[in-house]
Amino acid sequence: MEVEQSFSDICGGRLALQRRYYSPSCREFCVSCPRLSLRSLTAVTCTVWLAAYGLFTLCENSMILSAAIFITLLGLLGYLHFVKIDQETLLIIDSLGIQMTSSYASGKESTTFIEMGKVKDLVINEAIYMISAIWFIFLQQKVIYYLCILLKDPVEPHGISQVVPVFQSAKPRLDCLIEVYRSCQEILAHQKATSASP
């Protein structure tokens, strides 16, 4: 069963949440981030090339122009491969674990799998987020919500060893997070009930 809904992230961009229910014990949530906008790409390229042309008129060295083209290409490739995340997926499988996948714009995928034995709980946490407006002079603070997985501490039974945030690049708003949270808690509750019984 596949359901798609659209939400917005903390900055106001559009996000799409796709929910797939494979079985009562396996669910997948996929958040797609806004794509790379052509406008910002054109703006950055024009700025870099204008600056390079300005330097060229000063120095009369054509190496600057070729270097600018090279840097723009490398920068774009690096950005697409290492920075720009297209989609973030959360796959939760009852009694196996939770898997988080980030797919980058160049097609690279980076996956982390956490076993169910290490998961203590899945919660929505609050955080204070700094948004800089106007040249880093006026820093605005905002309270945002994020979904995170709490990991058990092997030494102390009731302690928490690590907090792993989910959907870090997409940063969806609370309404989206609540949907994901409710779904996941159904599975986690079932998992806890069956693991408690002998």
Q: Which of 171, 18, 193 is nearest to 94 (CA)?
A: 193
Cβ closer to another protein: 31 or 98?
Answer: 98
> Any bridge partners for residue 160, and if so which?
152
Rounded to 5 degrees, what angle do the CA atoms 179, 149, 104 make? 80
Find the shortest distance in angstroms from Cβ 5 to another protein: 20
Q: Which is nearer to another protein, 45 or 101 (CB)?
A: 101
Amino acid letter for position 153: D
User: Which residue lies nearer to another protein by CB, 21 or 70?
Assistant: 21
* CB of 41 vs another protein, minimal distance in Å: 29
Q: Which of 10/116 has CB closer to another protein?
A: 116
Q: Residue 92 Cβ, how far from another protein at the closest point, in Å?
A: 11
Shortest distance in whole angstroms from residue 118 CB to another protein: 8
190 sits in the region (left: phi over 0; alpha: psi -120 to 50; else beta) called alpha
Find all residues with CB under 8 Å of 188, minimum gap 6, and list them.
92, 119, 121, 122
In the complex, what is the shortest distance from the CB of residue 36 to another protein, in angstroms, rounded to a whole number? 25
Footprint of another protein (CB under 8 A): 22-26, 28, 91, 93-96, 99, 101, 111-113, 115-117, 154, 191, 194-195
By beta-carbon proximity to another protein, the closer residue of 23 and 141 is: 23
Nearest-CA neighbor of 31 among 81, 72, 89, 91? 89
User: For residues 39 and 35, what is the distance between their CA atoms, to the nearest angstrom?
Assistant: 11
Query: Please, which residues have CB within 8 angstroms of residue 168's CB and are 6 or more apart in sequence?
Result: 88, 146
